[in-house]
Amino acid sequence: EAQVTQNPRYLITVTGKKLTVTCSQNMNHEYMSWYRQDPGLGLRQIYYSMNVEVTDKGDVPEGYKVSRKEKRNFPLILESPSPNQTSLYFCASSSQTGAGGYTFGSGTRLTVV
């Protein structure tokens, strides 16, 4: 089944404790992206990647890191999480043209206390 797999689904952590949210896709998609979704603000793009070893900042990259060492994986790293990073996070992938739209992962609900 074509899918984007994110883990974990839920995470509660403390301020300053480094964490990684994993994302993997099995569709051989070139384009991958991370979004956060907050009430009233919609989906905001954190980082995106056009292909292996090619990443670029979205609209809200501060406090986040990504890497794209393999085509299928695109982890999101929070080096020192803060409470304002409490949010619902989605990983998504698409073909290079984007014509088929994004396939989204199931989401990660992160709470930083």
Residues that bind another protein (CB under 8 A): 31, 33, 35, 40-45, 48, 50, 56, 58-59, 90, 98-107
Smaller CB separation from another protein, 99 or 113: 99
Smaller CB separation from another protein, 75 or 105: 105
C-beta of 55: minimal distance to another protein in Å?
12
Q: Return d(Cα 85, Cα 97) in angstroms, integer.
A: 30
Phi/psi at 42 (5° precision): 75, -165
C-beta of 28: minimal distance to another protein in Å?
17
Q: Which of 68, 69, 70, 3 is nearest to 34 (CA)?
A: 68
Q: Return d(Cα 104, Cα 18) in angstroms, integer.
A: 24
Q: Return d(Cα 76, Cα 64) in angstroms, integer.
A: 7
C-beta of 10: minimal distance to another protein in Å?
12
Burial degree of 4 (CB within 10 A; 0-12, 13-18, 19+)? buried
Smaller CB separation from another protein, 59 or 62: 59
Smaller CB separation from another protein, 6 or 80: 6
C-beta of 17: minimal distance to another protein in Å?
26
